[in-house]
Amino acid sequence: MDEVIQVTQWLSSITPRKKAKLFFFTTHADAPSPMVGSNDVDTHEETQLPLATTVALHNFKNIDEFLKKKVITFSCYNVIENEITKTDYEYLRFYSACKYLDVVPPFLDLEKISAIQNKFEMTDEERDYRLLLDSADLVLEKVCDSLKPAGVSQMWTALRKARNLIRGVKTIDIIGFFVDPNPTGIQECLFFFIVRFLQKADKINRVNTNRLERLIAQCDESSSCEEGKTIDFIIDSLRFYPTELYPFGFCLIMCVIEGRDGAMQEIEKTMEISRHLGMITHTEKNPTKETIELVKKELMKPKYQFYSSFTCWFMSHGDSNSMVLADGETIEREWFLTSFPDISTFQLKPKVFFMVSCRGANKFSLKGDEFEGQSATCDYYDIGSALIRNRMLDITDSVRDISYVQPMMDTLVAYSTILDHLSGRANTHGSIYVDRACVLMSENISRGRSSTEILEHLSQDLHEILQETMDEDRIVYKQACHYDSFFRKTLKLPYTRHPKEDVHSAPQ
């Protein structure tokens, strides 16, 4: 059968909603830049014009043409050995999106998919199509599914009012001011247009979603949300790092075995829990500084950009500043922690470090006869729990105590800026940090937010603000806040606003 006929039949079998989603996933906003053949040809004309015309004309012709062109391009594409091209990346994304939406073309060459995966040096575990999906796009898809057509229309109206943002953008004018998003698939096209427009304008990315949240917040809840959903629920879904589907992320386990009793058990437990959480795991036993450098080089390979998060367990002896490696050499803990976040493949993705080593020799000692011989490190416990717990300690009540508490427990220390950096002020409003913190806390009363959620949002909000020194140099800078948490429970803001007391009223 003629290839064009096959493609046409395939397109005719796809619903308008799925066409809109396939276009969205295929025109991925954060396509990697260090790729052969990636020279910014993916302009707004390619990614936004088909969406704009579809919304304006209620006709999927341009999206059909775009998808048809992609399929034919892939059909003619010859996989080149060694170097990774932009088409390789696009082919994998297109295949994974088709698989996710259950619309894989029956004529798609799966051997090419395998050949491209070979170029990315993917293991068997990494050949799961879900790894290739962008988790941030999946979150945005769910946001769209939670809104009614009227809700997306209200977002569009709010965006049109941001004149400074949309001035001179031709695709905005193509759609016009008033939109009917009710025909099947038009709601999705309009929502995805808004998202891609904000991304191209550098107003949102996978971490910074404030601008999109503000558009959603302007919607009327009674007419904009699908049944069982609320504006708060939809906005909440954007307040988490996007880590949808499998795998949850990549987990690196580094463990010094020499001179450390129980080190192999540490490896087994961390491997098991990471896999239980849905991570793909790599283990390095007895790491040296050379090992660490090789691992960092490995993590810079293009395939790691498909992961949604990075977790590292580092287990060794150590002191207040450094950690002891397998060959007896030491590395500064600060050097280790600051070197991994610079890896570009995990930029804008959550990175969690479990640093398991001594940081000194002091002890918070408990004194008294009742504590003698009681320790969770003794070997008289029965180890027999099922599955994930089968090699964990069975901590009994006899070694639990709640009366003696480390002074720092249940403490959260929030800093307006990082070490050695400025904390900005406004001439009339004082501390920028205090201002934004108060605004966010005020906005989130009655929403059930936790204090750490507020601080994470504050960190995003504050770091978006450009500030200027008040001296004659007028230097523009950004401020970063952070916090250290020793919480044992979640602290939520109150659910109700407390009215101001009337200072003139008599006490009851």
Q: What is the pLDDT of residues 204-238, one digit of tens each?
A: 888 889 899 999 999 999 999 999 999 999 998 88
In a domain, 505, yes or no: no
- Contact of 426 with 435, CB cutoff 8 Å: yes
The CATH number that applies at residue 346 is: 3.40.50.1460
What local confidence, expressed as pLDDT, does residue 498 receive?
41
The reported pTM is 0.80
Exposed e or buried b for every residue in 445-481, given b needs 16+ CB within 10 A? Answer: eeeebebbbbbebbbebbeeeebeeeeeeeeeeebeb
Domain boundary among 239, 274, 290: 239
- Contact of 414 with 455, CB cutoff 8 Å: yes
- Return phi, psi of residue 280, to 5°: -90, 130
What local confidence, expressed as pLDDT, does residue 302 receive?
93
- Return phi, psi of residue 35, to 5°: -120, 145
- Verify that 2 and 139 share a domain, yes or no: yes
**Domain carrying residue 465:** 249-364+406-486
> Is the pLDDT at 473 greater than 70, yes or no?
yes
DSSP E strand stretches across 174-260: 249-255
> Is the pLDDT at 186 greater than 50, yes or no?
yes
In Å, how far are 2, 3, 60, 67, 184 from 13, measured between CA atoms?
17, 16, 13, 13, 15
Using H for helix, E for strand and C for coil, what is the string for 415-448? Answer: ECCCCCCCCCEECCCEEHHHHHHHHHHHHHCCCC
Q: What is the pLDDT of residues 480-492, one digit of tens each?
A: 898 888 887 777 7
> Is the pLDDT at 30 greater than 60, yes or no?
no
478: its two tokens: 């950004």
- Verify that 197 and 269 share a domain, yes or no: no
Give percent of the chain with pLDDT exceeding 90: 40
Q: How far is residue 133 CA from its own chain's centroid? A: 13
- Verify that 313 and 460 share a domain, yes or no: yes
In a domain, 377, yes or no: no
Q: 407-411 long-range contacts, Cβ below 8 Å, gap at least 24?
A: 408/486, 409/486, 409/488, 410/486, 410/487, 410/488, 410/489, 411/486, 411/487
What is the tally of structural domains in the chain?
2
What local confidence, expressed as pLDDT, does residue 397 receive?
63
Comparing 495 with 332, the larger pLDDT belongs to: 332
Using H for helix, E for strand and C for coil, what is the string for 332-365? Answer: EHHHHHHHHHHCHHHCCCCEEEEEECCCCCCCCC
What local confidence, expressed as pLDDT, does residue 376 receive?
53
104, amino acid identity: V
In a domain, 64, yes or no: yes
Q: Which of 21-25, 50-54, 408-412 has the lowest mean pLDDT?
A: 408-412
- Contact of 192 with 28, CB cutoff 8 Å: no
Confidence of residue 117 (pLDDT cuts 50, 70, 90): very high
Average pLDDT, the chain: 83
- Verify that 228 and 262 share a domain, yes or no: no
- Verify that 233 and 310 share a domain, yes or no: no
> Is the pLDDT at 283 greater than 90, yes or no?
yes
> Is the pLDDT at 33 greater than 60, yes or no?
no
Cβ atoms < 10 Å from Cβ of 204: 24
In a domain, 37, yes or no: no
Q: CA dihedral defined by 39, 463, 164, 62, rounded to 10 degrees?
A: 40
